[in-house]
Structure 1
């Protein structure tokens, strides 16, 4: 096997393993929290939904890419490619939208109390599920054209204005369709990124200016919890913006050329799924509820292992 192919295969394999493991752990932890607690906070509901969207993204992007790199050809037919490409587009869109939603909700949560904000804060739990439904409908609608261009790989050369993913081709057939698709998706992403960055900047400003005032007017435990949650959100936003910047720099380059090098296309595929693979570990390391459930599960597992070892003796 060629060294470059081996490096690419190992990279996608590690990305798929990390993404599946991390997001499944977060979802199982939240499933246990839902079972043991009457209701989740809005931020926890969004984090749980984000983990689901990221797991979906890894399954439909990193896993097929890994299998293809290691030599499995004709993995999907035309209908299969349409389903996988559509699922990936929707999952990727949900990932950016939910990260933005997380930032906005956290900004409202840590904002100074006021008549209007008090009503909004009390209404936040009831707004989460309608917001989820709205984001699903919006992104399913805007991603509808994606399956129209998805086809299974054909023998021979790859046509111009075609994204070669290995397991599927996205053939836009002409430059106009190619550019319009890129502009529409980039405009949507940049709009949510701008809102995400703005609300995150507001959180930073509040934490910088009012940290002592907030601790003085509220219980220190609640203030500390809000600060930890805000830092988690800010870390996720920074991670997303960095990876989004790399992903879209490559994407803008790809929009300017008719024939894209396979190496460039592979780089964009890899970076497009990095956030989905890495973000659950930020959630695990910074969210006390998730960390506590994982620690509890590990403690319950340890006695059973010790008992089994004692019995073997």
Structure 2
């Protein structure tokens, strides 16, 4: 196997494996929290949905991509490509939307309580569920065009204005469809990224003001610790997303300027666009006390459990 192919395959394999393990661990930790406490805080509910969307993204994009890199062919037929590409587009859209929702929710939580804002804060837990339903419905409708352009790879050359994903092709038929699709996706993503940057900047401003107000007041500082940690987690997730989003879109803009996209360029975009989904769960584990405690508890109990099962077999 060629050295470049090997490096690419190992990179995708590590990224996919780490991402699936990390996101699955966070989901199981939250499942245990729900089982023990019967409820989740609004921020934890949003984080749980974000992790689910990222896991869905990895399963529908990185898993088949990794298999293709290692030489597996004819993984999907036309119907399979339509389902996988549609699911990936929804997962990717949900990832940016939910990250934005997380940032806006945290900004509203930290904002100074006025008459109107106090009522809004009281309504936030009840609004989370309908917001998720709306995001799913909107993104399913926006991404509905993706299946119509998705086909299984054909023998021979790749037509112009086609995204060669390796395991599937997205054939836009003409330049107009190709550009309209790219511009529509980019405008949606930039709108949500702009909103999350604005809300994250507001969070940082509020944290700065709050730290000055409670300086020297130990009790107030301790009570604000949980909100401060949650806010810092949200801001860091936003920064992480924006960095990889920037790299992703630089490559995407280049892809819109050429008729035939090199598989190497497409692979680079897939890798960087999936880095957020692979790395974010580990940051959530390290910064969220509830999740971290459940993960550590599960790791500590795993070895004694194995030993007990072995002794029972004996």
TM > 0.5: yes
Distance 1:39 1:257, change over 3 A: same
TM-score, L = length of structure 2: 0.95
Tell me the number of residue pairs that the alignment of Structure 1 and Structure 2 aligns: 313
1:221 Cα offset (Å): 3.8
Deviation at 1:262, TM superposition (A): 1.7
1:151 aligns to what?
A: 151
| SS state at 1:170 partner | strand
Q: Could you say which residue in structure 1 is the equivalent of 2:52?
A: 52
Offset of residue 296 of structure 1: 1.8
Matching residue of 1:296: 297
Q: Structure 2: which 5+ runs fail to align?
A: none
1:167 is aligned to: 167
Q: Structure 1, residues 233-290: CA drift from partner, whole Å, max 9, x if none?
A: 0110000000000000000010011111221111011112111111101100100110
Question: C-alpha offsets along residues 89-138 of structure 1, whole Å, 9 cap, x if unaligned?
Answer: 00000000000000000001111122111111111100000000000000
Partner of 1:271: 272
Q: Classify 1:310/1:127 alpha carbon distance in 2 versus 1 (closer, same or farther; 3 Å).
A: same
User: Offset of 1:213 from its aligned partner?
Assistant: 2.4
Structure 1 stretches lacking a partner, 5+ long: none
Q: Which moved more, 1:262-271 or 1:48-57?
A: 262-271
Aligned to 1:208: 208
Deviation at 1:219, TM superposition (A): 4.3
Cα distance in 2 for partners of 1:208, 1:144 equals 43
Question: Deviation at 1:207?
Answer: 0.8
Preserved CA contact (<8 Å) 2:166 2:263:
no
Of 56-65 and 213-222, deviating more is: 213-222
1:137 and 2:142 matched:
no
Q: Give me the whole-angstrom Cα distance separating, in 1, the residues matched to 2:140 and 2:311.
A: 55
Q: Point out 4+ residue stretches in structure 1 off by more than 6 angstroms.
A: 308-313
In 2, the alpha carbon distance for the partners of 1:294 and 1:57 equals 22
Instruction: Supply the distance in 1 between the matched residues of 2:202 and 2:90 (Cα, whole angstroms).
Output: 28
CA distance, structure 2, for counterparts of residue 101 and residue 55 of structure 1 = 18
Aligned to 2:12: 12
For residue 14 of structure 1, report the CA deviation from its aligned partner.
0.8
Partners of 2:173 and 2:309 in 1: CA distance: 62
- What TM-score do the two structures reach when normalised by structure 1? 0.96
Question: 1:253 aligns to what SS in structure 2?
Answer: helix
Give yes or no for contact 2:103–2:238 (8 Å, CA) kept in 1: yes
- Cα RMSD (Å): 1.8
